[in-house]
Structure 1
């Protein structure tokens, strides 16, 4: 367990304003943990409890002066009860063969990742033709990162990447074959992550940021009971007035 004093000793840097990745008419600023910090999986676990995420080796948290739309969220995996629709998706994909690995075939994953990005986010920052750079944000030199694969007839059709934390799993990214849209593989991947965390006797699945007015981030409210980090305290999502209207959000579980 990381000593809280270690967190107090961390240097944090505030980025210059940059285009927001969620609202094209806004600028964002980001709080970044000192890249020279002696980061570890244990320390990152503590930072995750404070709403930080990682991209590659970089650990960050949104810190915008006039916008607090990015709200950290996590799911209690032992209290989770799937909806009827989620149970249908689980059953629909029972024919897939699952495997978790720390050493994926990067060329195979890059090919699937690029197909997914070109179908969903063409022209974006991750639409990179190079063999490995597009996948660099998924792993880091210090994290306990695992690739979860699902295959149909020996063909990789979906993958989810998670970090192991002291109290849970942190969902990093999900990508899947765009022609398999009818399987709702993004939803299925989250359901499998929930199952895996519970099976490993962990408490939480950290889902990144819930953003109320951003369709690609608001889907997380479909998984309950959700907690959100407000005023430095984790609180039940259901207690907030926006919870009822958020329950109908459209699913898009790749962005975190």
Structure 2
């Protein structure tokens, strides 16, 4: 038995799509207790997203709007707006470590999602400590990290990422709305690009780009980028164009 052989596969029933009005969605999942870095790479490269021990991707019957997008790091040049974001963020402190959970994490997560409920109409729910741990701490193994953003001693941002052999997988970022003027969402991606350049990595895997979804269409602004073609299986080549 290999170290990642405990793999449980299942799919959800069709439900209302949270990205596009009037659409229905169905997700397929893989639960992998001991995923290696190599397996994590293979899955992310084929459009799977990791949250904890769970990997998921769309399995929708009549829609292919969710497109896996990755930024071409080697050919990415920082724009004037990026340089302005760096300027505004001068004085912030960053810590990179294995994912953790604390009262600060939970309070910041809750504050951010209450804010997004008002700003974008996101469905708010109170995430319990156990659920946060299952989503963002467990399953990280030796490749999952969190980048913590501090203003003085105050935690103002948490960026969950995976290091891959060829890039960085951007899992989730949340921040303190009181510091919205610092453009922390964009800053987090810029910092990922800097990290990738420092480690000589080729790609930032940004997850799903959806052209007509307000919360996901921004990803196409990070050019140049590539789009995954279709939904390849593990025994098929991943073709990005």
Report the TM-score when normalising by structure 1.
Answer: 0.81
The aligned residue for residue 15 of structure 1 is 12
Matched, 1:68 2:64: yes
Distance 1:58 1:36, change over 3 A: closer
- Match among 55, 74, 77 for residue 78 of structure 1: 74
Q: Is the contact between residue 102 and residue 147 of structure 1 (CA under 8 Å) also seen in structure 2? A: yes
Distance 1:145 1:43, change over 3 A: same
Spell out the pairing of 1:192-231 with structure 2 (5 A cutoff): 192-231=191-230
The aligned residue for residue 44 of structure 1 is 40
The aligned residue for residue 135 of structure 2 is 137
Matched, 1:233 2:239: yes
Corresponding pairs, count: 229
What is the alpha-carbon root mean square deviation over aligned residues? 2.5
Q: Is the contact between residue 100 and residue 137 of structure 2 (CA under 8 Å) also seen in structure 1? A: no
Shift of 1:11: 7.0
Could you list the structure 1 runs, at least 4 aligned residues long, displaced by more than 6 angstroms after superposition. none
Q: Secondary structure at the match of 1:227?
A: strand
Distance 1:158 1:234, change over 3 A: same
Shift of 1:129: 5.1
Distance 1:21 1:40, change over 3 A: farther
Q: Is the contact between residue 171 and residue 207 of structure 1 (CA under 8 Å) also seen in structure 2? A: yes
Q: Is the contact between residue 32 and residue 54 of structure 2 (CA under 8 Å) also seen in structure 1? A: no
Shift of 1:12: 4.6
Using CA pairs under 8 Å that are at least 6 residues apart, name the structure with larger relative contact order, 1 or 2: 2
Name which of structure 1's ranges 11-20 and 212-221 shifts more when overlaid on structure 2. Answer: 11-20
What do the CA deviations read for 1:168-212 (whole angstroms, capped 9, x no partner)?
A: 111111111101111111001110011111111221110000101
Report the TM-score when normalising by structure 2.
Answer: 0.85
Shift of 1:20: 1.4
Q: Distance in 1 between matches of 2:125 and 2:81?
A: 32
- Match among 20, 26, 30 for residue 27 of structure 2: 30
